């Protein structure tokens, strides 16, 4: 069994916090474990918990459309969440829950070694880029950290609630596309 599959199996059988009692499925992630681009959200919602896959439902459809605008598909990147199980009623994850899952995301990063990490939403950006990250002011900006380029986009669910942010997000996606062209070696055919 390779290291990625071993990590996935450990995650799928995790009981390190109370979310294990209420989950339907662990949501480890989807896409290519060798991808150079990693997208990280906060935690699974109800649809994700039911299907065991991140970003499905209305927000997932919008994310797929956003990726398609810059020539990306789920199977060419990797999509996951910081927390792998759904908090009840979609509440924000507690610190103990975040801490229980932190090792899984850290190990995913070690195994993947992505060149670009995209935080989906303010909470993910505050966890990964910087605790005082301001999504309304810093979305779409790139930061280099631990040998990786990091940026944050508005969460697709936020864009569904406030479609007025879509033009800014389109510009952020174009910046992401340019950064992929600049630093990634294994790029989709559209970028060749």
Task: Give per-residue pLDDT as tens, 2-59.
Answer: 999 999 999 999 999 999 999 999 999 999 999 999 999 999 999 999 999 999 989 9
Please work out, in degrees rounded to the nearest 5, the angle formed at the alpha carbon of residue 83 by the alpha carbons of 80 and 89.
110
Q: pTM of this prediction?
A: 0.94
Query: For residue 90, what pLDDT is reported?
Result: 86
The residue with tokens 């810093």 is 138
**Strand 148-153, strand 116-120: pairing:** parallel
pLDDT tens figures, 120-154: 999 999 999 999 999 999 999 999 998 999 999 99
Mean pLDDT of the 145-169 span: 96
């Amino acid at each position: 069994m390779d290291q990625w599959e071993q990590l996935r199996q450990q995650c799928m059988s995790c009981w390190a916090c109370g979310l294990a009692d209420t989950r339907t499925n662990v949501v480890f992630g989807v896409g290519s474990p060798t991808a150079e681009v990693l997208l990280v959200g906060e935690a699974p919602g109800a649809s994700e918990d039911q299907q065991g896959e991140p970003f499905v439902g209305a927000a997932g459809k919008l994310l797929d459309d956003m990726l398609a605008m810059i020539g990306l598909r789920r199977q060419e990147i990797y999509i996951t969440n910081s927390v792998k199980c759904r908090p009840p009623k979609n509440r924000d994850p507690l610190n103990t829950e975040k801490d229980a899952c932190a090792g899984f995301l850290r190990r995913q990063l070690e195994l993947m070694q992505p060149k670009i990490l995209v935080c989906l939403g303010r909470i993910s950006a505050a966890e990964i880029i910087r605790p005082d990250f301001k999504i309304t002011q810093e979305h779409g900006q790139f930061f280099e950290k631990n040998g990786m380029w990091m940026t944050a986009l508005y969460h697709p669910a936020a864009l569904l609630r406030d479609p007025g942010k879509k033009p800014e997000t389109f510009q952020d996606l174009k910046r992401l596309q340019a950064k992929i062209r600049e630093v990634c070696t294994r790029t989709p055919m559209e970028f060749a």
